[in-house]
């Protein structure tokens, strides 16, 4: 079983996504705890879990998939497989699956892979979360670098099979900039997931 050292915790929120989209930076903003981040993809190779002494809950930053500098394709595919297996194995305990994407690059990346006849990883992961019963949240990171905000978010909805405009999916499409701590749309979406799960005591972690 991949990623065997899962803490003995019940519910969790998982962060998934390509390498170098800012998952570890977002994890820092959500938990107040620093994790290894790097300018080159693939710094995180094992899950980073963060829990608290009281509530039966944790945040989990899963390793990034896709291109990683200096990592051979077989290893990259194994990491992606391990991520999928982890989510499948723990789906019943995952209150929210947060797919983190790079707001500036995600449309180009999706279209490039689709043009090659592939299913883009981001689209595949979005639908995979739905398939295992997890209502996905898309944290569209690095929005400070995006000029055509609404147009870009509408295009992302289109690629994910959601009918634009994006504003009707504010519990699903969350534009953020983790580096500057601007993550309020994501915190709001997570808060709604916690309320839906009757876990109001977890609201302290997203306020």
Average of per-residue pLDDT across 65-72: 67
**Residue 24 reports pLDDT greater than 70:** yes
**Residue 101 reports pLDDT greater than 60:** yes
**Residue 4 reports pLDDT greater than 70:** no
What pLDDT is recorded for position 141?
Answer: 98
DSSP codes joined into one string, 131-169: HTT--EEEEEE-GGG-SSHHHHHHHHHHHHTPPSPGGGG
pLDDT single digits (tens) 157-198: 999 999 999 999 999 999 999 999 999 999 999 999 999 999
What pLDDT is recorded for position 184?
Answer: 97
**Residue 8 reports pLDDT greater than 70:** yes
Band of pLDDT at residue 118, cut at 50, 70 and 90? confident
Q: How far is CA 44 from the centre of its chain?
A: 14
DSSP, res 182: B
pLDDT single digits (tens) 36-62: 544 444 445 678 899 877 788 999 999
**Greater pLDDT, 139 or 65:** 139
Average of per-residue pLDDT across 123-145: 97
Q: 54 in helix, strand or coil?
A: coil
Partnered with residue 99 across adjacent β-strands are: 16, 138
Q: What superfamily in CATH does domain 11-200 come from?
A: P-loop containing nucleotide triphosphate hydrolases (3.40.50.300)
Average of per-residue pLDDT across 121-142: 96
What percent of the chain has pLDDT above 90?
A: 68
């Amino acid at each position: 079983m991949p990623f065997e050292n899962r803490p003995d915790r019940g519910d969790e929120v998982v962060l998934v996504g390509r390498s170098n989209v800012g998952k570890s930076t977002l994890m820092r903003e959500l938990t107040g705890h620093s994790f290894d981040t790097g300018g080159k993809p693939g710094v995180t190779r094992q899950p980073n879990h963060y829990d608290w002494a009281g509530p039966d809950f944790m945040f989990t930053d899963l390793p990034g998939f896709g291109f990683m500098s200096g990592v051979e394709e077989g290893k990259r595919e194994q990491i992606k497989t391990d991520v999928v297996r982890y989510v499948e194995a723990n789906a019943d305990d995952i209150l929210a699956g947060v797919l983190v994407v790079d707001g500036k690059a995600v449309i180009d990346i999706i279209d490039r892979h689709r043009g090659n006849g592939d299913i883009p990883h981001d689209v595949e992961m979005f639908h995979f979360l739905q398939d295992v019963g997890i209502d996905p949240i898309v944290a569209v990171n690095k929005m400070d670098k995006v000029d055509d905000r609404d147009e870009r978010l509408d295009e992302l909805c289109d690629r994910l099979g959601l009918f634009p405009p994006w504003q009707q999916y504010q519990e699903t499409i969350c534009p953020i900039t983790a580096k500057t701590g601007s993550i309020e749309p994501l915190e709001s979406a997570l808060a709604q997931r916690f309320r839906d799960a009757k876990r109001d005591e977890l609201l302290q972690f997203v306020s």
